[in-house]
Structure 1
Amino acid sequence: MMQQIYPVTAHPYAYELNKDFHFAAAHYIPSDQAGKCRYVHGHTYFANVTVAGDALDESGFLVNFADLKRLIHDRFDHTTLNDDEVFDDVDPHRFPTTEATARIIAELVQAHLDTLPQHPRCIQVYLRETPSSYVVYRPRQADAGAQR
């Protein structure tokens, strides 16, 4: 079990839910500037997704933990990230870097949250690629408000 302290982001919501999970995946960064990372290699990624909101659903959930696991772990575990349709070998914003992967996780989670009547928001994704390297992605509040 991961027991980690994550960076905290201030928000105005009554509820905050955090889901930890990990997935093993290979990737490569299609750029000559990526050095050794140009070549296929793998990581065990550790992720934390933070969802916040003011209302609970008919089951008393802000969002079901199992849904978050299905969205991310079940999609990416034991895959090559470059093969997934959300990544691209042409657009650098869609290369499977840790930064872009954290943002894409937030986008996938938010797309699911947008279908829920209680309107929760994905406010942070923490993604650790190696024991010494991680990224924190926080969607801009202006973007979150525009998506409502």
Structure 2
Amino acid sequence: MRLIKTFQIDVAHCLETFPEGHKCRRVHGHTMAVDVILEGPVPEDRGYLVDFGEIKQAVEPLRKQLDHHMLNEIEGLAVPTVENLSKWIYDRLKPALPLLVMIRVHETPQNACEYVGGL
């Protein structure tokens, strides 16, 4: 069974690793949707995998750290691509959410990145 909890962040960043003149080198912002995806068997006695409130509690400190901030200024996100952000979020949530298997970050409604643990 897979469980998905989505949260939203408004962030700014610039991607200095892009070629000179590329629009992403300039400071710009995104409203991102982040899917936190857990997977495992549902215990029959309980009938649910994980309480959504537990996921929200684990996510909230990270959401506050990212929301309305410049990603380049956050430790570990000097190169704040959607790929690096996906892994950064996964690495910080995994200790609190052992059933976490994937983080999906929607940079725009059309563009997303999935980080699967261990890759």
Q: Is TM (by shorter chain) over 0.5?
A: yes
CA RMSD between the two structures: 2.3
Note if 1:126 corresponds to 2:104. yes
Percent sequence identity is 27
Structure 1: tracts of 5 or more residues without a match: 1-14, 89-94, 114-119, 144-148
- Which residue in 1 is equivalent to 2:80? 96
For structure 2, the residue ranges without an aligned partner over 5 or more in a row are none
For 1:106, what is the secondary structure of its paired residue? helix
CA contact (8 A) 1:49 1:124 kept: yes
TM-score by length of 1: 0.65
Aligned length, in residue pairs: 112
Q: Distance in 2 between matches of 1:62 and 1:132?
A: 29
The alignment's TM-score, normalised by the length of structure 2, stands at 0.79
Query: Within the alignment, does 1:139 sit opposite 2:117 as a pair?
Result: yes
Q: Which has the higher helix share?
A: 1
| Conserved? CA contact 1:102–1:136, under 8 Å | yes
Deviation at 1:103, TM superposition (A): 1.0
By relative contact order (CA 8 Å, sep 6+), the higher-ranking structure is 2
Query: What's the offset of the Cα at 1:38?
Result: 1.0
Quote the Cα distance in structure 2 between the aligned partners of 1:112 and 1:26.
Answer: 26
